[in-house]
Amino acid sequence: MALDFRATQVRTSKIISSGSAISPGTKLVIYDFAADGSPANQGVIDTTVFSTASIGTDIFMYVSGARRSLNSDSGFGATAFGGDVYASGSVVALDGLSGSHQRLVDGTPAFVAGYGIEIVTQSNGAVAVSSSVSGSIFTSSASYARTTASVSFDTDSRYPTSIGSNVFFFVSGSRSGFGTSGVSVFGGDTYVSGAMVAVDGLSGSHQRLTDGTPAFIAGDGMIIATQSNGAIAISSSVSGSVFTSSASYIKTTASVSFDTDSRYPTAIGSDVFFFVSGSRSSFGTSGVSVFGGDTYISGVLVVSGGLSGSLQRLIDGTPAFVAGDGITVTTQSNGAIAISASAASVSGSIFVLSSSAPPPALYAMTTASVSFDTSERQTPAIGSDVFFFVSGAINSIGTEGVAVFGGDLVVSGNQTVSGNLTVTGPRFQLIGDGTERPPATALSGLFYYDQIDGFLSYVDSDPKWVTFPKKTYMNVAGYTLTTQTSSSPQVCGQVWVDNTEIPTGSIFLRAIVSTTTASNIAYVRLWNITSGSYVHIWGPDVLEMATTATTPEFLESDPLWTATNFTQAAGAVYEVQLYTSSSDYPAILGSAQFVFGA
């Protein structure tokens, strides 16, 4: 039986381990005598004092002690090695390392202060690292670091201001370095509160939103699929003409509608091929349709609400308005083009604005003779007695060269007609009491003097009475398309009717009306603006003419002379209105006219 060998000191050059009594067999164990078990002095360990259960099977030598016993009153639990301790392998400290790490094995400092940094070894051996410069640097708060300074992580040691005057945070890298080197990686989610600019574009697949819902949702006729490489494939699930792609463009042969009310182009108008919805007079609020860049129209542009903006230059960059002699063109601060006369630059009388006519009723006047001539002749070149001249061509009606004066034309002196004088309207009146007849000997060519039911014709001094045609027509409104309903009908046209010129009982309203679907109704009303009331145009208490026809239909009112709210005593202003039963489908007016005659 082996007994413990007792000695107060041993001098030896070698300790050869042959194994301990600890299973599965640590080679060498050093522990305190207090852990000697029973029977005593035979290498038995009292496991209640010294537990060997935590000693691993890979341990060669174990020295007993107590954790966290350094500088404590808990007993002898620390193991000390005087002088240097060298470990050719790894050193594992479960509770960490305690002490001051100040120098390397060659005696040089373990910590070297860089720019703006101070390193001080404190009395307890701790190494204090602080800033030696003023300004904002990183400060700690709990487990986070923060700074109010701009930051640059740059392999070229550049400050943010060297990269750009507006740069606050910079991480260096290489463009197109993905898969090789030079890539900056931000782990986890990256949040950008402002705009993010990707010079070479974004790479990756955007499939879901932050709440986990899909980022792309298929609407009617669309299929959305995620491909194996992460790309989002969007295709059509319906037959017919749809958008197809060609290089970086898309095209279609179908009519297209971008409409918040989900209407097809045909529901907006039978002649509509491309439609973008919006709201009238919504500029500065919402409902504005914006076409970026240049917009080219090969046909006619019709703007029902007028055009807004400033036209200053043509597409080649040259001015849109060029000042001629005596004219000054100025662009005002709001973009308006101001055109004015510069009287000091030309001689003679020119047009000036009348000071007695404030805006918007502006008039122009001149004391000079005026010539509107395609041959650029002045009035003396046309005739020594000519004061006002408008050029044209004889017998050019229906072709070109006709001079047109809109409205009434008043001649205070004599009027000489070298050719024939033809009146195409229903009336031709002489100023006077209407009872005199012009002397036949004073007439030449063709002359008409009308009465309520006919006119007197002098042709080469041969007077003849000619009866009016049975019916005369007055246009009230032209082509109009609207989706307005009865609460706000569309105004199509207005006209003045002088009842003293109408044979009693001989006025009707005719209209060409249609809609786009038989389930919809198109209505026409006649509003008496003078009296402020609707005319009963289709019989007593019937205020509108109506149709469900999808092709233009002819509608005619009852006789209006005896209709309720039609003015008989004097003239009145009338207004034709159009509306639809459903705002989803339009009402279409081809034309509207009053018919006079038996």
Q: Of 556, 565, 558, which Cα lies nearest the Cα of 529? A: 565
pLDDT at res. 419: 64
CA distance linking residue 207 with residue 119, whole number of Å? 50
Q: Where in the chain is the domain with CATH 2.60.120.1340?
A: 471-597
pLDDT at 482 over 90: yes
- Per residue in 160-203, pLDDT tens? 888 888 898 888 888 777 777 778 888 888 888 888 887 776 76
Least confident of 31-40, 208-217, 281-290, 427-436: 427-436
CA distance linking residue 205 with residue 228, whole number of Å? 11
Class of CATH domain 471-597? mainly beta
Strands 370-372, 364-365: pairing is unpaired
- φ/ψ of 241, rounded to 5, equals -80, 120
pLDDT at 462 over 60: no
How far is Cα of residue 3 from the mean position of the Cα atoms in its chain? 98
b/e for 327-343, b at 16 or more Cβ within 10 A? bebeeeeeeeeeeebee
- Per residue in 137-161, pLDDT tens? 677 666 777 888 888 888 888 888 8
Tell me what the pLDDT averaged over the chain comes to.
77
In this prediction, residues 9-31 reach a mean pLDDT of 75
3-state secondary structure of 235: strand
To the nearest 10°, report the CA torsion of 111, 116, 121, 124: -120
CA distance linking residue 388 with residue 411, whole number of Å? 13
- φ/ψ of 442, rounded to 5, equals -95, 0
CA distance linking residue 390 with residue 388, whole number of Å? 7
pLDDT band at 127 (very low <50, low <70, confident <90, very high): confident
pLDDT band at 333 (very low <50, low <70, confident <90, very high): confident
Q: Please report which residue ranges of 181-327 form alpha helices under DSSP H.
A: 265-268
Q: Please report which residue ranges of 269-385 form alpha helices under DSSP H.
A: 379-382
**Is residue 348 within 8 Å of residue 327, measured between CB atoms?**
no
Length of the chain: 598
The 3 state secondary structure assigned to 481-501 is EECCCCCCCEEEEEEEECHHH
Q: Residue 318's CB: how many other CB atoms inside 10 A?
A: 8
Q: Of 332, 350, 333, which Cα lies nearest the Cα of 341? A: 350
Percent of the chain past pLDDT 90, that is, above it, reads 15
For 161-196, the DSSP string reads HHH-TT-SEEE---TT-TTSS------S----SS--
